[in-house]
């Protein structure tokens, strides 16, 4: 828990420093002050509202016992096994099979699954997937994961800030050469920050924790094998539009082309499955 709080604090401090540095380069002291104010506001917003922002990006709809009785009951049973408070439960109307957890702590958490995963997997495997997501909640991975996604978007806003305040010449090109350079570099920088903040080891730990919660490591292994094969051929438009959120998913939802490929933070599915099979044998 302390490690995740430290990572979160360092990420937010790094973003604030980056905003200040770019503001100073583009607009001097006044530019730095404006950028620092914007960066500080983004930090506050990310902590309190990044989860709802991510859910909105995916047009997630909240469900309950009345609208999704079987799925909701499954989550409630797993929550009791995990010793967690009941999170909010969401469905995403997307054909790609996938799922994620978000929120700032176990008391303010949400789990979401696509309708595609509910249609593809048998109940036993869905249970393994959702247990994995609840393991992220129990390990308190969700804060750094959700904030990093929001902050990557903030870096894109920083690029716009550089262009806007750098000014443009009569032909519409940035008059400040630094602005053009920043636009070219900030997207890869955002990806690098996420990869530094989000360790691939957390997926292995969530797999192990999910197997413990559901009591069936092979269920999660079977689910990962199946959804990885399907996800490769079924695009998810919200993830492609917001590649910084891809690291939140149980399986990488991106096609891997262009800038989107920079945001891949998932370990190989084959290695995850092998570890789960070993755990089941043990």
Number of Cβ within 10 Å of residue 76's Cβ equals: 14
Sheet (strand 88-92) strand order? 61-63, 88-92, 109-114, 99-103
C-alpha distances (whole Å) from 275 to each of 97, 207, 265, 268 are: 22, 9, 18, 11
H or E stretch at 62: strand 61-63
Task: Say if residues 138 and 111 touch (Cβ distance below 8 Å).
Answer: no
Catalytic one of 133, 240, 244, 271: 133
Selection from 100, 97, 96, 98 nearest residue 88 by Cα: 100
**Could you tell me how many residues make up the chain?**
282
Selection from 261, 58, 16, 245 nearest residue 145 by Cα: 245
* Cα–Cα distance, 243 to 239 (Å, whole number): 5
H or E stretch at 54: helix 2-57
171 is known as an active-site residue: no
Active-site residue set: 133
């Amino acid at each position: 828990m302390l490690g995740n709080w430290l990572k979160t604090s360092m990420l937010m401090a790094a973003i604030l420093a980056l905003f200040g540095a770019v503001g100073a380069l583009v607009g001097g002291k006044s530019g730095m002050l404006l950028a620092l104010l914007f960066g500080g506001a983004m930090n506050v917003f990310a902590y309190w509202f990044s989860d709802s922002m991510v859910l909105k990006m995916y047009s997630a709809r909240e469900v309950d016992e009345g609208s999704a009785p079987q799925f909701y009951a499954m989550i409630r049973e797993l929550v009791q096994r995990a010793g967690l408070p009941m999170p909010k439960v969401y469905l995403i109307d997307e054909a790609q099979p996938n799922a994620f957890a978000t929120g700032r702590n176990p008391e303010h958490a949400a789990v979401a699954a696509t309708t595609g995963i509910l249609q593809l997997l048998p109940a036993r495997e869905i249970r393994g997937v959702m247990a994995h997501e609840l393991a992220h909640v129990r390990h308190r991975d969700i804060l750094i994961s959700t904030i990093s996604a929001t902050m990557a978007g903030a870096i894109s806003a920083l690029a716009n800030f550089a262009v806007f305040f750098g000014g443009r010449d009569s032909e519409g090109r940035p008059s400040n050469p630094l602005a053009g350079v920043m636009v070219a570099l900030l997207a890869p920088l955002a990806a690098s920050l996420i990869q530094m903040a989000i360790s691939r080891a957390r997926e292995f730990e969530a797999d192990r924790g999910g197997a413990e919660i559901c009591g069936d490591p092979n269920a999660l292994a079977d689910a990962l094998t199946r959804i990885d094969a399907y996800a490769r051929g079924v695009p998810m438009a919200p993830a492609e539009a917001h590649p910084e959120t891809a690291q939140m998913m149980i399986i990488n939802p991106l096609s891997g082309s262009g800038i989107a490929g920079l945001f891949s933070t998932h370990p190989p599915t084959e290695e995850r499955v092998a570890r789960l099979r070993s755990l089941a044998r043990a």
